[in-house]
Structure 1
Amino acid sequence: MPAATTEGYRPQLTFVDGSFEELAGEMADYLKSEESKKLIASGASQDDILAKLVASAQTLTAVPEKEFTAASNLMIHLVMQSPDPKKHLQKLCQAFARPLPSSPQHGAGLTLNALTTVFNLLSPEDPVRANVFQEILKFLKSNSMYDALKPYLERLPEWLETWDKDEDFQRKVYEEVAEVAIESGEEEEGYNFILKALRTFDEDEKSEVTSEDAQRLSLRAVKMALLSNTHFLFQDLRAIPSVQALSDSHPVYSQLLDTFAEQDLEDYDDFNDEHEGWVEKEKLDHDKLHRKMRLLTFASLAATTPSREIDYAKITKALQIPEEDVEMWAIDVIRAGLVEGKLSQQRRLFLVHKVTYRVFGDKQYRELATRVDHWRATLQNVLGVIQQEQVNAKAQKEREVQELERKLNSVGMGGERGGDRGAGRRQHRERNDNDD
């Protein structure tokens, strides 16, 4: 669905040739639209003829698969000849979006090609493009075809800016994209577009962030985040003004979100005791929430342990599990990407290598300061040991040098005394020889 780049004229399907009357007659024959034929014969205006042809275009979904593309292209070409194509394009797109019984395997692809042809033939700044895009989104949602949309989502903000649509329209488009993603099983992508929709509300206008639409979307985002199998951090969600406003409109949901954002399993149990039956009433999955809170509690335990060593007893107490399940939960928390580490079964410890902070505020800064102090003390101890070893090594080396010098001196002095005695004996022999 690439954007057209040519400005100043309306692109055409160059392989369609003939006058409007001739091509409209062919289309009327193909659609078996007698009323269209009568309008053409009577010399009616183009718009009247097109209105009748477009009304009959729904029968295109019943044509043979091999003829659909040619027929749809001819219909698109005729509509583009209108002085005001937008009068007919939305109805035409709706006609194209019907299922193709003659092509159960390739029908969705053929229809999408027809819809994107309409989109591409419109100039980039044409606001009608926005309406066509919405029709494409509806079609992709009904056919769970998020993959076909995914490559073009990077250009969506650019398109929205070019179409110069207000925040309400942008919000609606983002929510529709989220619907397409969710329908195709892409829950995390859908959640991200719900957040984009929430950010279109003016945070400086209290009436906007507390509006019914803002609270509806905020509540939906909270539910998606809590029940997601992959979403464990909630700071981005809690920073959105309309979500913060839930503390007034839906205080229990706001309390639950706060619990998952920075509290532990014991706090979640207290929440359930305080609001007994509420989770079930709201159709939230208690087992899923309970499992997620255990993983988050494990992450908090790892983040608040200065020594980076957590004994099994602390884990079993915090997660409310038997000791034999520690290994399973350690594997799960690592798979969730919350903690990196390994088990020491011999020492009955979990060794923390890296941990993801759930929140990072004053409390976490204090914990980090404590950990830094612990590391500093450890490093100072290590440095002290190293320095002492260096002193010991230097002293040992000096002793060895002194011992070596002593031995060399001892050997040198012994050699001189031996030399003197030899010289004395030679002198004695020389005197004896002279006497003779």
Structure 2
Amino acid sequence: QTTDLDLGNVLSFSWFGRMEGMVFNDADADGRIDPSEVGIPEVPVNIRFRDGSLYQATVTDGSGEYGFAEVFPFFKWLVAEVDYARKKPTGLTAYVDYGGVLDPTDPANRDPGPWPSRISYTDYDGSTKYKLHPQPQNPNDPANAYGSTYARTQLDDGADTLLQAMHLFLGQKNMIDWGKVDYRAGENGGISGMVVYATTRAEDDPRNAAIEDWEPGIPRVQVALYRDHDDDGVIDDLNGDGQVTLADVDNYPLGWFDGSGAKGPEDIDHNGNGLFDSGDALNITHTDSWDDNQPSGCIQRLPAPVNGQQPNLCFDNFGTWNQIRPGVFDGGYIFLSYFPGGRYQYDRQPNPAKWEKQGLPPDTYIVAATPPPGYLVQREEDKNVDLGDQYVPSKLTATAPLPECVGDLHEVPNILSMLTSD
């Protein structure tokens, strides 16, 4: 005999974590949502692996909200990213799930700040519900601007809050609200981008090639910024030697560039004087490295020593649980400053950074990434996918012209190099 049995609502946890939040117009630039501040629609938000390859991507809806409903619990750090193309970042507020019961009587669930709570909402029956049980934050954390124990607000100083390292476990929810404002007159967002290992290319013209989701960034690559004021495709002569002078190159292991180490056999010394010379560069940087900027300050209880070794704070494992901490992925770079007249003037100064001027003036620039040993710049013949439909740009939307490639002339062979080793 069979009998129907109504089990009612059966609780089942999700096999995935959830990340959500809002990108909002932060009118008072305080990094948190005020009652009068509204969301910004159609802002891309990404989750990347630490090597810079893309894991998931979405855009904010009409109210500025976004959500990733299925974030796999990798037991390792991921990196959340908000778009940088349209507006100036002001800061972010992060809410980290501590797990446990969502008890409205628990004081830890009540937002002590003067701004509205982002983790509570009114249910259909009029009762107050909570999205997560907030992880108690460290009020003395340098990345906690207001010393809140409820949520961590990190204010922006350039582009510090475009990225956040994140640990997220199954059945849990983390939230990041990203603040942005319009650039003021005379301001801009500088020049930023990625240096990637281009494993795939289908475009006939390498100028049209875009970064594929699965292509990883390359850390510690030197990137130099040059001026091309007359827009002739040739680097301006800033050091006055009558010719184009490229900057010397400090390849990994780094140290020659900033004087903290000696020149190594992997480095490029154009004039052979043993000293790092900036040539005609306005500024020089290196691409971000996850390994060199690992998260710190995690809120966690470390387990007992394993085989006599104490696990490090923020280590990749189950015990790190849910976290949102400052972090970067491999391969990214940004220029927000320059050395007026050229960096060469300060190569021998004990503290060249004090001569650095914030903000790039409107001008034409040339960006040069020098491939480290074992890598080549993608060439015309470097094409390993030669089938499928040809890309046709949409005529419905206006698109900015792609920048011209500059540099030494290169003779293109008759045969494609299908392998990166060719």
Tell whether the structures are fold-level matches, with TM greater than 0.5. Answer: no
Normalising by structure 1, we get a TM-score of: 0.20
**Structure with higher strand content:** 2
Give the alignment's TM-score, normalised by structure 2: 0.20
Q: Which structure has the greater CA radius of gyration?
A: 1
Q: 1 or 2, which has the higher helix percentage?
A: 1
